[in-house]
A = this chain, B = another copy of it.
Amino acid sequence: MVESARISTRRRAARKPRDAYHHGDLRRALVDAALALVAERGPVDWTLREVARRVGVSHNAPYRHFASREALLAAVAEEGFRAFVRIIEEADARAPREAEARLRGCFATYLRFALENPAALRLMFSHELADKSPYPALRQAALAAYAKLREMMVLAQQEGVLRPGDPDTAALATWSMAHGLSMLVLEGQVPAAAEPRKRDALVEQMFEATLRGIGAPRPRRAARAGTSRAPRASAAGTRRSRS
């Protein structure tokens, strides 16, 4: 039903004259193959040589595009971040204009991404990408993802859905909750998450808790009646669908 959140490099594979000595776009092909391999085997026993083998080049060709095995992994993580914001934005575009609904969708999409790309998510957060990191592009991509989230927070504050104040606080709280939940579910620490139904309910509960934590203090959804807001029936309907 909902479009898959699985990472895929959409851009066409850049005509590959198979027999040619020079590969059309080896760098991209390497990242794609590496991503697939990470998804299959995880980033631990992941072999630079095997990536090269899959792409059909010699075991040394990757070194023309990446300084080291780790550099390629960093590129994969970077691609992961980009795919992440793309998927978030797609979901956001489909969502209603109401800030709360958008936040809810963003939150759920985070977990969906985690479930469909577990290895990629782990990889994205397995690098120390502190300022001293030798992979500025990776850091850049990560910051872009954060910027997207922060932007949503600012909008939500303007709409009065969130309590006013530093948007970074709200963004951090939301991100922490979504990220922590994703990691725990990925780890199998949350047995209830095995069944999709229960999992959805769980995500909903966690979102509710987050929203109570950073949402506007009292009135929220009761005292706000009378403003030119969309009817709350839809929102309330999705909120507690059963139980």
Which residues does A use to contact B, with CB under 8 Å? Answer: 44, 122, 125-131, 133, 142, 146, 168-169, 172-173, 175-181, 183-184, 186-190, 192, 202, 205-206, 208-214
For A210, the chain B residues whose CB sits under 8 A away are 173, 209, 213
For A188, the chain B residues whose CB sits under 8 A away are 128-131, 133
Residue in B closest to A133 when the chains form the complex, CB atoms: B188
Count the copies: 2
For A202, the chain B residues whose CB sits under 8 A away are 172
B142 close to A189 (CB less than 8 A): yes
B172 close to A125 (CB less than 8 A): no
10 further interface pairs, Cβ-Cβ under 8 Å (given A129-B189, A175-B184) = A44-B44, A127-B187, A129-B187, A129-B188, A130-B187, A131-B188, A173-B209, A175-B189, A176-B176, A212-B214
Distance in Å: Cβ of A129 to nearest Cβ of chain B: 6
For A127, the chain B residues whose CB sits under 8 A away are 187
Q: Which of B133, B183, B212 contacts A180 (CB 8 A)?
A: B183
Residue in B closest to A44 when the chains form the complex, CB atoms: B44
Residue in B closest to A181 when the chains form the complex, CB atoms: B176
